[in-house]
Amino acid sequence: MKKWFLLWLLSSGAALTANSQLLVNKEKFTAADTLRGSLNPRRTWWNVLRYDLTVQPDFTTRTIRGKNTILFSIVEPVQTMQIDLQVPMQIDSIIWNTVKPTPLSFSRQGNIALVTWPVIPENIKEISITLYFSGKPVIAVRPPWDGGWIWTRDENGNPWMSVACQGLGASVWYPCKDHQSDEPDRGASLSMIIPENLKGVANGRLIQEKPYAPGTKLVTWEVKNPINSYNLVPYIGKYVNFTDTLQGEKGVLDLSYWVLENHLSEAREQFKQSKTMLRAFEYWMGPYPFYDDSYKLVESPHLGMEHQSAVAYGNKFINGYLGMDLSETGWGLKWDYIIIHESGHEWFANNITSKDIADMWIHEGFTTYSETLYTEYWYGKQAGNEYNYGLRKGIENKEVVVGQYGVNKEGSGDMYPKVANMLHTLRHSLHDDARFRKYLRDLNQTYYHCMVTYADIEQFTRKYWGRSVTPIFQQYLKTTQIPKLKLAIAADEKTLYYRWDNCVSGFDLPIWLSGNKNDTRLSVRDVKWQQTRFSEKIDRSVLKEIEKMYYCTVQILPAVTDAISKEASQ
């Protein structure tokens, strides 16, 4: 992801760096895209309850082998099952773990395996199967953008391994149902067989660490909560650990930090921001969603990712985005971008997950807006306004934000700054920060550990705005047009005429003017001229501030024409 950041950095002459990945834009889609990105009867008949994954990496050969035991419930008996595992990875065998283990036959079809089942007795509601796999997974050449396994060494020459696979998918390395609409309801475990001189870290809490074969050990971590398949990842290296706690909204939250040996002192200082982040985000968005699994930052051999309860961190222990302020306002250098942004995904992406990758704007837009909320919480409302407005320069408006459904295709990288600015616009239109905060908190409570759609978010938003927000969502998410607010001031300088232009039909976005003696609501609807009369002369400086609070352009006409006056009076 972070495609728009790449464009921003290129345009500013900065180094080519980013922290998450978006898939390469495609105009044509294949049968493989459909198999990966859509639901079909071979996927929907079974619901994932739990993954118990074991992996043994070989640093020398860049290969892995392992097994994944999948516990699932039966929605409707079907005899063919789709399992996702991308080539060149191989499935060696599949065992149905009944009282008498029974091999299941399967065939490969590109990046999927079609598993043939015998007739399943009607009284069986849950089934466990184990898939044994091996191979040389795709190597991430430039993680986390291109995705895959990461094989590198730390500055002392020790092996350092991990995975970054959002977009590309978890099936790049282990067999699973690789679709965001189905998370393991009862959590997952990840066991790593690794050299005895290294540490293995994964999501959730450490369950066991014990000797295995000579020179190796088995390390197991477990998450109690549902988890996106791409979030379940190992970190293997020469790690050291330190811990802390936070008295949060739901009680004591365990904090744990894993970094390379040489970076311990830097991390102890920089990671103090975890607490400031959690304070701000719990205020705005509700309790941290995974108290059972703790909160962790894990130093990673890439810039960062939102791996649930084990956030990947690679920002070199400096503020900003590798030392840069993406808003160019100065506020982005007050805090560590990776700690704030990637942790924000614990609420939007990990707690609330889009069912289809086409709606990744739900993950990235809300999380990008969390940067504004953090800035405002600690530095004031004006700072938050300035930071959000500064992000706007990253919007290209060449492609729409919503992707194509059913083919594993996200929308434009504008989903980061554009949706953040859409949310800021909606917030100012609501003109009630307490209600907006309640909206964010209730959203996380209502869809706690749930998968959602575009329609879910739109309908939920409508409840808090008390009217349809469909045209607003369409404008910012499904077009590349920036709405234009046209204004005209009468000769007496007390009557203001206004209407929208360059917008979808029915665009209805109220504008609040702060100034004069009271805040004034302009009920701007569609493209028909309207008017409001003030008790005193209009403060033109207030009109110039509209663009900073609302994602639109403002055009002040030189005079009120007869046509404008006539239309507004009708």
Q: Give the domain CATH number at 225.
A: 2.60.40.1730
Alpha-carbon gap, residue 83 to 174, rounded angstroms: 10
pLDDT category at 144 given cuts 50, 70, 90 is: confident
Look at residue 371 in the predicted model and tell me its pLDDT: 98
Closest CA to 298 of 164, 389, 460, 120: 164
Alpha-carbon gap, residue 186 to 47, rounded angstroms: 11
Long-range contacts of 59-64 (CB under 8 A, 24+ apart): 59/151, 59/159, 59/161, 59/195, 61/136, 62/136, 62/139, 62/149, 62/151, 63/134, 63/135, 63/136, 64/134, 64/135, 64/136, 64/137, 64/149, 64/173
3-state secondary structure of 406: coil
Rg (CA), the chain: 26
pLDDT category at 13 given cuts 50, 70, 90 is: very low
pLDDT category at 515 given cuts 50, 70, 90 is: low
Residue 226 located in a structural domain: yes
Q: Are 314 and 339 in contact (CB under 8 A)?
A: no
Closest CA to 422 of 463, 466, 372: 372
Residue 175 located in a structural domain: yes
Residue 167 located in a structural domain: yes
pTM of the entire structure?
A: 0.94
* Range of the structural domain that residue 526 is part of: 484-569
Residue 328 located in a structural domain: no
Residue 46 located in a structural domain: yes
Alpha-carbon gap, residue 452 to 265, rounded angstroms: 41
Mean pLDDT of 211-234: 98
Question: What is the number of structural domains in the chain?
Answer: 2
Helix runs in 416-561, H state only:
417-430, 433-446, 454-465, 470-478, 540-544, 546-549
3-state secondary structure of 95: strand
Closest CA to 55 of 177, 224, 246, 188: 188
Alpha-carbon gap, residue 352 to 355, rounded angstroms: 10
Bond into 88 cis (ω within 30): yes
Average pLDDT, rounded, for the chain: 93
Q: Which of 117-126, 263-272, 376-385 comes out lowest in average pLDDT?
A: 117-126
3-state secondary structure 201-266: ECCCEEEEEEECCCCEEEEEEEECCCCCHHHCCCEEECEEEEEEEEEECCEEEEEEEEEEHHHHHH
Q: Which of 10-19, 336-345, 467-476 comes out lowest in average pLDDT?
A: 10-19
Residue 442 located in a structural domain: no
Strand pairing class (199-201; 205-211): unpaired
**DSSP code at position 482:** P
- Tens-place pLDDT, residues 146-194: 889 999 999 999 999 999 999 899 999 999 999 999 999 999 999 999 9
Q: Which of 287, 317, 347 is the last residue of a domain?
A: 317
Q: Residue 54: CB partners within 8 Å, gap ≥ 6?
A: 66, 67, 68, 190, 191, 192, 193
Closest CA to 130 of 65, 56, 71, 194: 71
Strand pairing class (251-260; 239-248): antiparallel
> Within a 13 Å sphere around the CA of 246, how many CA atoms are in the beta-carbon half?
22
- Top-confidence residue, 118 or 73: 73
**DSSP code at position 172:** G
Look at residue 146 in the predicted model and tell me its pLDDT: 85
- Tens-place pLDDT, residues 464-504: 999 999 999 999 999 999 999 999 999 999 999 999 999 99
Residue 4 has pLDDT above 60, yes or no: no
Residue 370 located in a structural domain: no
- Top-confidence residue, 348 or 525: 348
pLDDT category at 199 given cuts 50, 70, 90 is: very high
Q: Which of 317, 345, 366 is the last residue of a domain?
A: 317
Sheet strand arrangement including 159-164: 148-153, 159-164, 235-237, 199-201
Alpha-carbon gap, residue 412 to 23, rounded angstroms: 10
Mean pLDDT of 38-49: 97
Encoded tokens for 57: 């990496």
Alpha-carbon gap, residue 176 to 281, rounded angstroms: 32
Terminal Cα-to-Cα distance of the chain (whole angstroms): 49
Look at residue 517 in the predicted model and tell me its pLDDT: 54
Biggest alpha carbon–alpha carbon distance for the chain: 90
Residue 268 has pLDDT above 70, yes or no: yes
Closest CA to 173 of 319, 326, 51: 51
Residue 314 has pLDDT above 70, yes or no: yes
Q: Which of 317, 339, 360 is the last residue of a domain?
A: 317
Look at residue 9 in the predicted model and tell me its pLDDT: 46
Look at residue 27 in the predicted model and tell me its pLDDT: 66
Q: What angle do CA 39, 44, 49 make, to 5 degrees?
A: 120
Look at residue 420 in the predicted model and tell me its pLDDT: 98
Look at residue 473 in the predicted model and tell me its pLDDT: 98
Percent of the chain at pLDDT above 70?
A: 94
Look at residue 119 in the predicted model and tell me its pLDDT: 82
Residue 168 located in a structural domain: yes
3-state secondary structure of 521: strand
